Amino acid sequence: MAIISVFVSSPDTHSERRIDPDLSVSQLKDKLVPITGISPQYQVISLFKSTDAVATGKPFVKLEGDESKSLKSFGIEEWNCIKVDNTDPNYRPGEFTDETNLERFELTNEEYEKRQDTVLSHLKANKLGRFADVPTNLTYPHPSALEEIDPSIRVGARCEVSHGGLGKRGTVRFVGVASGIGKGGVWIGVELDEPLGKSDGEVEGKRYFQCSPRHATFVRPDKVTIGDFPEEDLFASDEDEI
């Protein structure tokens, strides 16, 4: 007979197990020790058709008598319930499952923070998680007034925008305080040479400058580099190069 699934129930446990019906009752008892915590000599085993049948207290068979007999000789089937009672005179019901009288080790937040053997102390010592150093660009305050930015950033200047890891060339078309963009403050509006932007110079219904669709981008001043950036010929081919 193939391995079958059964339920094993005892005063302190209930679980689903897979067993070999060819096991003898003696072998079954040995296997039930780590599952139920009951020594073989104190086990009284009853077989029920199902877990629901256990409530009636009337098993269809008790595994008594010759312990060398196999389980299948007692008629065990898939999803039967093996109920194990404990006859140990020193057994105290709930001894290992009742938590009402357990002493609990508890720490206040202040006591926990003072300990040197905790996850918190490890994170602090190694500057991990919320204790990690904050990148400079996150603590850098965005300029809130025009006089705080580089004077070379002016309308009409050629520039390169560093955004998303790419260098995008274009022309400065707007320099000013824009409360309607992001969290406000000073923004630089750039007309890009290529359609790599998100708008045509209008944001949230307000027009800052006019350009072709998807050629406008707005970035913080620290993302703009002013310089001699000639406009790229989008139609040039490698054959034109020497």
The token pair at 230 is 């000639």
Domain containing residue 194: CATH number: 2.30.30.190
pLDDT at 84 over 70: yes
Between CA 228 and CA 159 the distance in angstroms is 7
**Among 71, 86, 101, which residue terminates a domain?**
86
How does 16-55 read in b/e, with b if 16+ C-beta sit within 10 Å? eeebebebbbebbbeebeeebbbeeebbebbbbbebebbe
Between CA 154 and CA 171 the distance in angstroms is 9
Q: Is residue 107 part of a domain?
A: no
DSSP assignment of 20-77: -TT-BHHHHHHHHHHHH---GGGEEEEEESSHHHHTTT--SEE--S-TTSBGGGGT--
Mean pLDDT comparison of 18-22, 100-104, 140-144, 230-234, highest-scoring range: 18-22
Its domain, for residue 27, covers 4-86
Q: Are 175 and 155 in contact (CB under 8 A)?
A: yes
pLDDT mean over 108-135: 82
Q: Are 150 and 77 in the same domain?
A: no
Between CA 88 and CA 95 the distance in angstroms is 13
pLDDT mean over 115-132: 84
Between CA 168 and CA 163 the distance in angstroms is 8
Q: Is residue 61 part of a domain?
A: yes
Count structural domains, the chain. 2
Q: Are 37 and 96 in contact (CB under 8 A)?
A: yes
Between CA 242 and CA 235 the distance in angstroms is 16
Q: Is residue 39 part of a domain?
A: yes
The pLDDT of residue 165: 62
Q: Is residue 34 part of a domain?
A: yes
Between CA 136 and CA 94 the distance in angstroms is 58
**pLDDT per residue as tens digits for the range 19-72:** 999 999 999 999 999 999 999 999 999 999 998 999 888 899 999 889 999 999
Q: Is residue 153 part of a domain?
A: yes
pLDDT at 122 over 70: yes
Over the chain, what is the mean pLDDT?
84
Q: Is residue 241 part of a domain?
A: no
Could you tell me which residue, 61 or 129, shows the higher pLDDT?
A: 61
The distance of Cα 93 from the centroid of its chain, to the nearest Å, equals 40
The pLDDT of residue 24: 95
168, 171, 172, 178: CA torsion to nearest 10: -60
Domain containing residue 27: CATH number: 3.10.20.90
Q: Is residue 183 part of a domain?
A: yes
**pLDDT per residue as tens digits for the range 157-193:** 999 998 666 789 999 999 988 877 777 788 999 999 9
**Among 86, 109, 135, which residue terminates a domain?**
86
Residue 237 pLDDT grade (very low, low, confident, very high; cuts 50, 70, 90):
very low
Between CA 64 and CA 47 the distance in angstroms is 11
Residue 240 pLDDT grade (very low, low, confident, very high; cuts 50, 70, 90):
very low
Its pTM surpasses 0.75: no
pLDDT mean over 89-107: 73
Q: Are 4 and 18 in contact (CB under 8 A)?
A: yes
Q: Is residue 108 part of a domain?
A: no
